Structure 1
């Protein structure tokens, strides 16, 4: 392997040793130019402890989709049999991408945009990540605002969605005292909603009906009172003022946790990350003691092996892994960039994804134990009460909770858990956007973090106003349907291909070894080069094939709304080719020279802490000299040397 393969330009092979020595000296001088660069890392801050990073990553990756998407998907796709493709794609796609993003984030201590000094030609990948996170932040906090509203309404002696006879109820309302039959087609809801980092595409179909005319109190409360749902996207209606107050409160809470950076965020996550697990455990204990709970759990986990032969099941498993682990959003890169340079990121990258997947499975037991109880109470089958997305969290599950003794207590716990899970993921996405601006303009903005955080939260809050009108959920549907689907796959595919084949996996593995002190198994090289890109292409094709035009509640959208959605989706991908063209035009030389230069790491690339940076460039200089010596020996026909020294020799490098 020559120097071009690890990212630094060489003057070419020289037959004369004097020319080679001269070339080597010049190249070493070029490498040393980056040694004394001012990094301003001291003002950037970092985690106070290792658990801060792990807990924040868990909170970021574990989102609403773990609660309202995975359980439904598991039951629909073969119960326990679904775990097989789910964990296969975790190994082939989830782990490699998480480890890759966490590694180069920690190595550079930079945001998703500035870290692309490793290959400046593809800076648009980082810009696309930040744009996706920024767009999703807009509507994700609207969902958090919904949970806040339900949380406040739960502090009542009688839950407002537990019975008919309220101002918002219609003559079609049927309360729990009557036998409610849930339409097995679940055709009254079609809501696609993202969770985090995250993030997770949901298609919710949930309706409580009697025959084809009657509706449940929880459904009417959701549609007629909370949303005051209009007839379509053309009817925006007025702003729902209670939801506006909840949205402002949600953004204020985000600001309080982020305006001082990760020092405060890390402390907050020591409570915010474990708390949902405590609530889930309490809800599970209560759930399994209810009549009918075991039937619901059996329905959830009982394997249907014949489902493994269906293409849809494998596609759903791959898609769920891709969204639930949180790759391609920039959040993993951002969180890892605040680690100490020598932190064992390899260990952390193995812990977080498996906890995330375990949470999804655990949440399924909580959800299906209560749905089993609801089916028992109403005399319905599990298929008739099961739902997902908002149909689960704002209609079906609240309806089930309303039938429990001391129902307000369980409602408070449930919506407090949803709020905590949602806002944890929101922290990661908003911090990604803030850090991107601070690292891009460090001299101007880094000392003004409070102001930048306030402006970011205010702008995102204002952008969310159309989503809390009476027709807001139709707008939310468009943003989610197109913004967090095919674009994420294309960003992640470009990311892994550039690092594997432009920056080179050999160079990347050497950087990781230098950072953590040992070399990970060589299987990661093959995964990054071949397997993971192929899996991403499969996920992308599956996503595009199954995407279809946006709909809500069976209603088609006008053409202008579909065009608007596609524009939003494409907007986060356009920076990749756009910045490639822009940067080529800014460079000098022939087209080939420009592209070649921009594909190589810039002189600013490397560790940000000066001490680590000095060691790194001395390490590269020694590797350079070793490679030149190997070239001379190879030209004499004696032997061929490897570019990188063994770990035992590397330890003897003077610092």
Structure 2
């Protein structure tokens, strides 16, 4: 089925100007910072290469089904998360919950991008600033200070007593050999030699050492505030013309990381010790790990969040597709490419970790870290030790982090702005103003994380803003498609919706009809996917532990704020349905109608709505509705007896 890209099909909302615009935007949305630092760490933590077994299984049963479901809903309705759930109006809260998640994540996600921007500009020097420690911001335990013989002054700096005769510091009557990491770790509190790159991050970049915790935010750090301003400026100008501008920017931001990863991989293979890291990554599988429920949970969560499912971004991006775009093909291409990217990034990261372990005369497990530590501590330290031109590798790496993060940030902000303009149509003429207002508001809120204590707040948001509440959204999506829209309107209604979009062949090169592949998607949506997500959700509750940041434990009031962020999404998911039901009840409308598609449901354009006549009879089509009142007033679509 040929798709014409020479002009916009939907002149009111606009469309992607090319097929690759959408694919690369989806790929950029899915492939983010977590692919570089989280997946390799999970492989290390969960048995090396054996982690790929649960990872691939969860990709097939959870990741791809939800990915395809969201692309299908967005493309079929040409609507954003707030207006696409007309198939069951009482579940409109799914859209509000997605907007809540996207708003919370976009605030702190751009903070991490601003860190990468800071490092990028700091790399324009032949002497990388994190190669050595500065006493103005570093602790006495920095490796720079611990090189050489022990002196009384250095022991005193660490709060210890010195015996320079035997070269040992004493903690009370207990000797502490600061060059013996085993003995130092047994002290209370443990003594650890800190990498200069870690001191640079926590002391100079974040100012974390100058804060006692989340209760002590301190002043705004102007360097970080400027980097954050630059990050939001890039987002604004990339989105100011909607998909017409962002669709072109992604040709660079989505493809450039792959160029850098290939360059860094080749460079990593030329470093001493690289084999030690790669061997640790994939050649020492621990099959006993498969007996652990935690491994399966980690695989499912990583698949779920690396694909950016249930955040609303996929629905938003696909809503700009032309109606007959092959969204099944795109779903398979993007989701599989995303996972292969994670796997390949692991080779890059661990080749450098092997080099770092070789230089530090230790093992890989002593230098591996997850999360922020992998991107902003371990890799900068490895770069500083590299022969040749460390500055070049630093610039390439941090530019890659910036582009990886920006793609995901584009999708988050686009989701929010598109939803606002779909809900209140007159605002489409003021698209630039809407995006500007969002960027300004989110920038001002983000300034709280540009303070000395901002890292503590960011860690709290990262733990609670998009946690198990996103799993609830995914379960709700499957329930609506399978057990509300499916049962109330005919078991195969959604199957026919997809058929009129993509035709009978999901692949141009394969003689496989849509009827033959449908049972697999029905098997997932109607059973295995929601059950697996529910199991992950329950396990997350059972395995819940209060959030920590290193050795820092959050106070009870901070935990309460975190739970409020989580509950905000839950309330957004549930409250709209309750309000809609109450309004219908007091207006004398049957509650059952709220579980039936309203007349707004279906393709946005009349010419595509006519295609529904083969399996659905309607009295009237309401094109492009944008208010809750219109939904309630329009009433449900009449369905045929056979569909009932």
What range is the shorter-chain TM-score in?
0.7 to 0.9
Deviates more, 1:536-545 or 1:337-346: 536-545
* TM-aligned CA deviation for residue 345 of structure 1: 0.7
- When normalised by structure 1's length, the TM-score is 0.83
Q: Given the superposition, is the C-alpha separation of residues 623 and 584 from structure 1 closer, same or farther in structure 2, using an over 3 Å criterion?
A: closer
TM-score for both structures, normalised by structure 2: 0.84
Match of 2:40 among 65, 71, 75: 71
Query: In structure 1, what is the Cα distance between the partners aligned to 2:325 and 2:180?
Result: 55
Contact 1:119/1:598, CA 8 A, preserved across alignment: yes
**Partner residue in 1 for 2:244:** 263
The one of 597, 603, 610 aligned to 1:614: 610
Q: What does residue 578 of structure 1 align with?
A: 575
Give the deviation of 1:629 after TM superposition. 14
The match for 1:293 is: 274
Distance across 1 between alignment mates of 2:480 and 2:617: 24
Q: Runs of 4+ in structure 1 displaced over 6 angstroms?
A: 628-631
C-alpha distance in 1 between matches for 2:615 and 2:592: 24
Equivalent position to 2:494, from 478, 484, 508: 508
Q: Which residue of 2 aligns with 1:52?
A: 21
Q: CA deviation at 1:43?
A: 2.1
Q: How does 1:222-237 map to 2 (within 5 A)?
A: 222-229=201-208, 230-237=211-218
Change (3 A) 1:619 1:498: closer
Q: Which residue of 2 aligns with 1:534?
A: 531
In structure 2, C-alpha distance between the alignment counterparts of 1:489 and 1:583, rounded to whole Å: 23
Q: Deviation per CA, 1:605-644, whole angstroms, max 9, x where unpaired?
A: 11112221233346523999xxx9997xxxxxxxxxx769
Matched, 1:124 2:93: yes
Task: Tell me, in whole angstroms, the C-alpha distance in 1 between the residues paired with 2:498 and 2:639.
Answer: 25
Q: Which residue of 2 aligns with 1:445?
A: 427
**Aligned counterparts of 2:56 and 2:127: Cα–Cα separation in 1:** 42
The CA deviation at 1:481 is 1.1
Contact 2:85 2:92 in 1 (8 A): yes
Unaligned runs of 5+ in 1: 1-39, 180-207, 632-641, 645-655
Alpha-carbon distance in 2 for matches of 1:417, 1:581: 45
**Residue by residue, what CA displacement relative to the aligned partner does 1:468-520 show, whole Å, maximum 9, x if unpaired?**
11001111111111111110011111111111100005111110011111234
Task: Give the conservation status (yes or no) of the 8 Å contact 1:125–1:576.
Answer: yes
Superposed, which structure 2 residues align to 1:288-327 within 5 Å? 288-302=269-283, 303-327=285-309
After superposition, what is the alpha-carbon deviation per residue over 1:2-39, rounded to whole angstroms, capped at 9, x for unaligned? xxxxxxxxxxxxxxxxxxxxxxxxxxxxxxxxxxxxxx
Question: Matches of 1:493 and 1:575 in 2, distance apart?
Answer: 15
| Pair 1:137 & 2:106 matched | yes
Over 3 Å counting, the alpha-carbon distance change for 1:622 and 1:384 in structure 2 is same
How far off is 1:170 after superposition?
3.9
Q: Is 2:585–2:591's contact at 8 Å kept on the other side of the alignment? A: no
Q: CA deviation at 1:553?
A: 2.1
Residue by residue over 1:161-183, the C-alpha shift from the partner in whole angstroms, topping out at 9 and shown as x without a partner, is 0123464334332239959xxxx
Change in CA separation of 1:401 and 1:629 when aligned onto 2, cut-off 3 Å: closer
Tell me the equivalent position of 2:418: 435
Q: Note closer, same or farther for the CA distance 1:47–1:165 as it changes in structure 2 (3 Å cut).
A: same
**Equivalent residue number for residue 637 of structure 1:** none
Q: Deviations over 1:80-122 (max 9, x none)?
A: 1110000000000001100100001000000011001111100
Query: Are residues 424 and 611 of structure 1, via their aligned partners in 2, closer, same or farther at CA, if it must alter by over 3 Å?
Result: same
- List aligned pairs for 1:309-458, cutoff 5 A: 309-405=291-387, 406-442=389-425, 444-458=426-440
Instruction: Verify the 8 A CA contact 1:209 1:215 in the aligned structure 2.
Output: no
Q: 1:72, 1:388 within 8 Å by CA — same for their partners in 2?
A: yes
Equivalent position of 2:153 in the other structure: none
Q: 1:89 to 1:322 in 2, by over 3 A?
A: same
Mapped partners of 2:566, 2:137: distance in 1: 36
Structure 2 residue aligned with 1:283: 264
How far, CA to CA, are the matches of 1:113 and 1:309 in structure 2?
41
Residue of structure 2 equivalent to 1:97: 66
Offset from partner CA, 1:124-168 (integer Å, 9 cap, x none): 011100110010000000000000000100011100001234643
Contact 2:62–2:304, Cα closer than 8 Å, also in 1? yes
1:50-106: per-residue Cα shift (whole Å, max 9, x none)?
A: 111100000000011110100010011111111000000000000110010000100
Displacement after TM superposition at 1:209 (Å): 9.7
Task: Name the CA shift for 1:176/1:312 in 2 (closer, same or farther; >3 Å).
Answer: farther
Tell me, in whole angstroms, the C-alpha distance in 2 between the residues paired with 1:392 and 1:533: 33
Give runs of aligned pairs for residues 195-214 of structure 1, distance below 5 A. 211=184, 212-214=191-193
What SS does structure 2 have at the residue aligned with 1:143? Answer: helix
Question: Aligned partners of 1:228, 1:578: CA distance in 2, in Å?
Answer: 40
Deviation at 1:308, TM superposition (A): 1.1
Give the Cα separation in 1 of the matches to 2:322 and 2:180.
Answer: 56
- Give the C-alpha shift of residue 394 in structure 1: 1.0
**Which of 239, 247, 250 is 2:220 aligned to?**
239
Match of 1:114 in 2: 83
Q: Residue 309 of structure 1: CA displacement?
A: 1.3
Matches within 5 A, 1:175-214: 175=144, 211=184, 212-214=191-193
RMSD after superposition: 2.3
Distance 2:193 2:551 in 1: 18
